[in-house]
């Protein structure tokens, strides 16, 4: 997930259900902890003008109203994929979810908001040949200047344990 209006610790607070204070955790530590525990691990950091929230082996961000809460004073995006080839994309602006759908599948929920990014999402969601998760990511990179790097997720970042 990505959010353009909250710092990493505030992003983690959106998901916190009283589980405690964030702790510093490397990517490798988060993978190890997620594999051998009854909790999901969320890590948050910064990439350019965006804050990202990364979760391995879980789908916490797909539940509840997290995306709308992350976007209350800006924008938030969700790119989800897993080993079973399930993908999901969602976009929210100012607290309202404007798009939420499984790429390349029929029945996409896309609003009629008239912004350059929403016009691109509508075009991609209607095209079964393009419109995959990678195409949506490239549109976000081009229009919203979202450009995470591998180095952004390396190192110790604030992390939070969420009960499964």
85 in any annotated domain: yes
Average pLDDT over residues 33-42: 80
pLDDT at 25: 93
pLDDT at residue 12, as a whole number: 94
**Residue 118 covered by a domain:** yes
Question: Is 164 contained in some domain?
Answer: no
Tell me if 161 is assigned to some domain: no
Region 2-14: what's the mean pLDDT? Answer: 95
In a domain, 76, yes or no: yes
CB 31 within 8 A of CB 13: no
Higher pLDDT: 89 or 85? It is 89
Query: Quick check: 53 and 43 in contact, CB under 8 A?
Result: yes
Half-sphere exposure for 106 (CA within 13 Å, toward CB): 0
Answer yes or no: is 163 within a domain: no
Question: Mean pLDDT over all residues of the chain?
Answer: 87
pTM to 2 decimal places:
0.87
Q: How many domains does the chain have?
A: 1
Position 162 in a domain: no
| 152 in a structural domain | yes
- Which range marks the domain in which residue 58 is found? 2-156
């Amino acid at each position: 997930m990505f959010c353009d209006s909250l710092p990493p610790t505030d992003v983690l607070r959106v998901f916190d259900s009283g589980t405690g204070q964030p702790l510093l955790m490397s990517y490798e530590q988060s993978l190890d902890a997620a594999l051998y525990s009854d909790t999901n691990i969320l890590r948050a950091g910064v990439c350019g003008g965006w804050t990202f929230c990364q979760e391995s082996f879980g789908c916490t961000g797909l539940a509840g109203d997290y995306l709308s809460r992350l976007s209350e004073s800006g924008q938030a995006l969700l790119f989800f994929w897993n080993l079973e080839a399930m993908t999901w994309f969602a976009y929210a602006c100012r607290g309202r979810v404007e798009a939420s759908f499984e790429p390349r599948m029929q029945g996409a929920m896309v609003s009629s908001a008239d912004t350059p990014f929403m016009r691109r999402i509508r075009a991609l969601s209607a095209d079964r040949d393009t419109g995959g998760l990678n195409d949506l990511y490239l549109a976000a990179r081009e229009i919203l200047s979202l450009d995470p790097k591998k180095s952004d997720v390396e190192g110790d970042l604030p992390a939070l344990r969420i009960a499964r």
